[in-house]
Chains A and B, each alone.
Chain A
Amino acid sequence: MTIGTDHNFFRFITPAWLWKSTSPDHRSLRIGIPRMFFYYIYPGLWETFFSELGMEPIVSRPSTIKTVEKASQISETEHCLPNKLFDAHLAELVGKVDMVFVPRVLSTIKGHLSCPKFGPLPDAARADIARETKVLSIELDESRRPLSESLMLLGKQLKSQKSQIRSAINSSLRAMELAKNQPVRYLRKKEGLRFLLIGHPYVIHDNFIAGPILQKLEKMECEVELISFAKEAPVKSYILWSTANLIYHSMKTLSREEYDGVIQLTVFNCGCDSMMIDTYRSLMKEKNIPFMYLMVDEHLAQSGMDTRVEAFVDSLGWRP
């Protein structure tokens, strides 16, 4: 019986440094990461993980109006806006990289669920846009196994050594914690009004969706804080969607002194938000905090957004 030198058996019994230089196959492997959904849900995790494994992560560029135009051409017409943008980001990467990374995010907090649209995401990518490229995928289900174990499986899929994967997991989880805990604030003046912007992480951090509103609020010398997802697992409630439950619980602890108003940013055709808007609104009504929701679709016009934001900010000035 002969065992080739590239067999895993040798890799396990020999020290890691022997292999580092002699494995060119995945040293230069370029992995494309679309700048949507899981990129924002796990900020900073994927780039660190892949680069620690000696691969080259390539993240698609932030979405602009060009991305949206591309999205409306190639994507399924009835998807929600982030899903369309995701398709455009994916299309941008296809052809430039060796494989694209599309995980199946089923649950991000134990006992909770993600949006059902994430379930068939890799399958849909394989079926349609990333047909000519290899799709790297992993099931991220916090209810079944913790994130670090899923990452371990992902590393094994890429045929890296165990010790290397372990160190990559450690540093990437640390990077994610750091990125999550960084308070995102747009501060101009101390006397200005303070707003809290709530919404899905991939909505409030996206350049195309949230950019114009943040710019406008900055111009009006308001302070905006994006909602943080770094908190521990929230108490279980009737809401099982993890993001929605997190927002629900952090909104319960809000007080009138902290913020002058809450702005919810939602996207057209978002199923989760369509069920939650009324819940948030009634919660804010109880607490007597002004609340506005802005819905963004492909035809976002700066002037329309400006008018609504201005009206909201002005109306706050008239409050007794």
Chain B
Amino acid sequence: MTYMAIPNIGNYTIALATAVESLGIKAWASTATTPEALKLGIEAAPESVCLPLKAHLGHFIEADRAGVEYAFMINSVGTCRLRYYRHMIDQILKDLGLKIKIFGLGFDGFKPPIVRHFAPGPITFIKPLFHTVLKIKVIDELEVAAWRTRPIEITPGDTTRIMNKLLVELSESKTMAETRSIRKKVAGSFADIPVDKEKQPLKVGLVGEISFLRDKCLNKNIEYILGSQGIELKNFFLLGEELENITRIIFLNQSRRKSLFRITDRYLQNSVGGHALDSVANSIHCADEGYDGMIHLCPSGCMPEVSVRPILKRVSKDKDIPILEMSYDEHTCGVGIATRLEAFADVLMERRKCGAAAFRREKARRG
């Protein structure tokens, strides 16, 4: 059986694995970068490149050691370092003498080289792709449900358990009918979790670089830490939404940038690259929506995300919303992250109390 290593984007890797099966091969993947892979990547990569490259590289080296022959990567057309990832990873793997072959995917024609190489039949190719889209939708729903339930669950860990169970079922599902039945189950399973309905959790938005928003190993499981602190969060990278945007750009020629520029009006008038514009726009949007705080994640030295930080600081001051800036490198420790997040949660809680108290005082004064 031929295997193909796929880059990991959190839980969505499950859906991507289905897409790879459309080529008549099996996927070699994990939903989080393993520490061993990260170690391999750090050893092989130049020291000052950003962490996602090291994670990718380590993943591919590990795959090669396991005997995987192929791998695929997203070709980026952006302005940041991601654009050169494929070339660089190719070079490094060649220097290391590894045989794994990497295909690029995205923005290169109707029939990308990866499809040309494996030449699958039309029906075996199209059907799994629809299945992939369906799976992505289900994972989107799962994520959203988990953010809502986790902060108010009575027994800690319930949500994570249910979610993992459903994800395992999803990864084992082979037909679209099975996936559809799982999709029907999602709402029910999360509703069965005993929750504290009185509790009003804090609301926090998560913005920043995508691999850090998605990869549990790289971001030190930030979603779980925040959830168990009693914070309801919204992670601004959902692959389903992202795909919808891409389709809209391709077929309807509707760029989302225009609407983002309308939001970031006097703060930012340039799509910097990466997801920097989204970060700023979403921060402003959340401030207007009445979120309690924002968390901005990026790898240390990330070119687009770091360069918009002064703007985020201004947004934070103007709109009166706390924005926590977190940057990760290979020495970042999970305990340190947890401490910072706990402190941030405490600050937000106090702010809410003060705000609520001030609001009540105001109300009493007016009679």
Tell me if B306 and A79 are in contact (CB < 8 A). Answer: yes
Count of chain A residues with a beta carbon within 8 Å of a chain B beta carbon: 34
Tell me if B84 and A239 are in contact (CB < 8 A). Answer: yes
Q: Which residues of B contact A268 (CB under 8 A)?
A: 48
Tell me if B304 and A116 are in contact (CB < 8 A). Answer: yes
B52 to nearest A CB, angstroms?
12
Tell me if B309 and A274 are in contact (CB < 8 A). Answer: no
Name the contact of B269 in the complex, choosing from A116, A123, A238, A273 (C-beta under 8 A).
Answer: A123
A245 to nearest B CB, angstroms?
12
B270 and chain A: residue at smallest CB distance: A119
Per the 8 Å Cβ criterion, residues 88-121 of B in contact with A are 88, 91
Q: Which of A106, A121, A271 has the most CB of B within 10 A?
A: A271
Tell me if B310 and A104 are in contact (CB < 8 A). Answer: no
Assembly CA distance A248 to B176 (angstroms): 50
A282 and chain B: residue at smallest CB distance: B91
Tell me if B310 and A127 are in contact (CB < 8 A). Answer: yes
Q: Which residues of A contact B49 (CB under 8 A)?
A: 274-275
Tell me if A123 and B311 are in contact (CB < 8 A). Answer: yes
Tell me if A128 and B314 are in contact (CB < 8 A). Answer: yes
Instruction: Fill in one digit per residue for A92-121: 1 if any B CB lies within 8 Å of its CB, else 0.
Output: 000000000000101000000101110111
Q: Which residues of B contact A116 (CB under 8 A)?
A: 79-80, 272-274, 303-304, 307
Per the 8 Å Cβ criterion, residues 306-333 of B in contact with A are 306-311, 313-314, 327
Name the contact of B303 in the complex, choosing from A117, A124, A239 (C-beta under 8 A).
Answer: A117
CB within 8 Å for A275 and B272 given contacts A79-B307, A127-B310: no
Name the contact of B91 in the complex, choosing from A121, A269, A278 (C-beta under 8 A).
Answer: A278
Tell me if B88 and A119 are in contact (CB < 8 A). Answer: no
Q: Which residues of B contact A275 (CB under 8 A)?
A: 49, 81, 84, 88
CB within 8 Å for A119 and B310 given contacts A238-B87, A269-B301, A271-B80: no
A157 to nearest B CB, angstroms?
15
B85 and chain A: residue at smallest CB distance: A275
Give the secondary structure class of A's interface: mixed
Interface residues on B, range: 20 to 34
B314 and chain A: residue at smallest CB distance: A127
B158 to nearest A CB, angstroms?
38
Does B268 count as interface, using CB distance less than 8 angstroms? yes
B271 and chain A: residue at smallest CB distance: A119
Tell me if B309 and A78 are in contact (CB < 8 A). Answer: yes
B301 and chain A: residue at smallest CB distance: A269
Instruction: Fill in one digit per residue for B36-56: 1 if any A CB lies within 8 Å of its CB, else 0.
Output: 000000000010111000000
Instruction: Fill in one digit per residue for B244-285: 1 if any A CB lies within 8 Å of its CB, else 0.
Output: 000000000000000000000001111111101000000000
B269 and chain A: residue at smallest CB distance: A123
Q: A117-B307, A274-B48, A278-B88 are in contact. List 10 more A-B contacts (CB 8 A).
A: A76-B310, A104-B270, A113-B79, A116-B272, A127-B267, A127-B311, A238-B87, A271-B81, A273-B48, A274-B81
Residues of B within 8 A of A (CB): 46, 48-50, 79-81, 83-84, 87-88, 91, 267-274, 276, 300-301, 303-304, 306-311, 313-314, 327
Residues of A within 8 A of B (CB): 76, 78-80, 83, 104, 106, 113, 115-117, 119-121, 123-124, 127-129, 238-240, 268-271, 273-275, 277-279, 282, 295
